[in-house]
Amino acid sequence: MRFCLLFWLIVVVPCSGFGQALAPAVLAWDKAPVLRKAAGYEERTLLEGETHGFSNVTVQAITLGANHPAQPDQQLDEEAILVVKEGRLTVTLGQEQRELGPGRIVLVMPGDFFKLENKTPQPLTYYQIRLTSNEVPDLDLYRLMGQSVWVDAPKPVSTSAERGDDVLFEGPTLMAKRMRLAVTVLGPGESSHPAHTHPETELLIVLDKVVTPRIDGVAQPARQGDVVFLASGVGHTVQNRGAVACRYLTLTFD
């Protein structure tokens, strides 16, 4: 693992960014192109490029077929956030294995080995968000953290719920000075907050129903499963224009 991290420092960091700067957008997961397909495996890339402080941000939706066997151990140079969209994903991190249902999250640190499989008779889909910082990672911080993070499951939402935030994770990671994972519930007619800006980059994943982000004053509905990308400094708010409560996951980082 130490060799992999040193390789990342020596070879990857000096390289130029992966692609163009990302623009704010609402991204429909099921309309993203399928870039890789094999027996029982389908990979869609919703987002890939540079943003403030990060040479690469990639968001993929990956579908595993029913009873899909475990893939070989994976080890990434990037930081990865795995979010289950639908179905039940079995994740093995080191010696620990857990089955994660919809909305469950695991934060995988660079260099940690992990394995994914579908042990159920139904297909499943999960999001894989990968982050690569522009800055050299703090290896002392990595040693202090010592492991990947299983994130607590968000609470279910009732159709009459009022606005509320459930913070699932908050703190520094190897790639981010600050990272925050939270689930927000908006009741009918509610807004997340007045239109505002902030220096952090933000990703939203719609977990239930439909939300309407206003990005630089332009409203565009995002339905369940869609991803919203908000670049640093972009004015935005999120509204629920429906008759029932909606719920979305927010990932902010810088």
Whether 251 shows a pLDDT value over 70: the answer reads yes
Whether 216 shows a pLDDT value over 60: the answer reads yes
What CATH number should be reported for the domain holding residue 73?
A: 2.60.120.10
Phi and psi angles of residue 224, each rounded to the nearest 5 degrees, phi first: -55, 130
* C-alpha distance from residue 173 to each of 18, 94, 144, 145, 164 (Å): 21, 19, 10, 8, 25
* C-alpha distance from residue 252 to each of 171, 192, 203, 205, 249 (Å): 11, 15, 6, 12, 10
Q: Which pair of structure tokens corresponds to residue 10?
A: 């020596």
234/183 same-domain check: yes
| Residue range of the domain that includes 56 | 2-12+20-151
Write out pLDDT tens, residues 71-117.
789 988 899 999 999 999 999 998 899 999 999 999 998 888 999 99
User: Does a structural domain hold residue 193?
Assistant: yes
146/27 same-domain check: yes
222/105 same-domain check: no
* C-alpha distance from residue 97 to each of 70, 91, 219 (Å): 12, 6, 41
27/130 same-domain check: yes
Mean pLDDT of 53-81: 94
**Residue 252 burial (CB count, 10 A):** 19
User: Does a structural domain hold residue 156?
Assistant: no
Residue 162: the pLDDT is 53
Q: Determine which of 70-74, 146-150, 155-159, 190-194 has the lowest per-residue pLDDT on average.
A: 155-159
28/142 same-domain check: yes
Q: What pTM does this model have?
A: 0.86
- End position of a domain, from candidates 151, 180, 209: 151
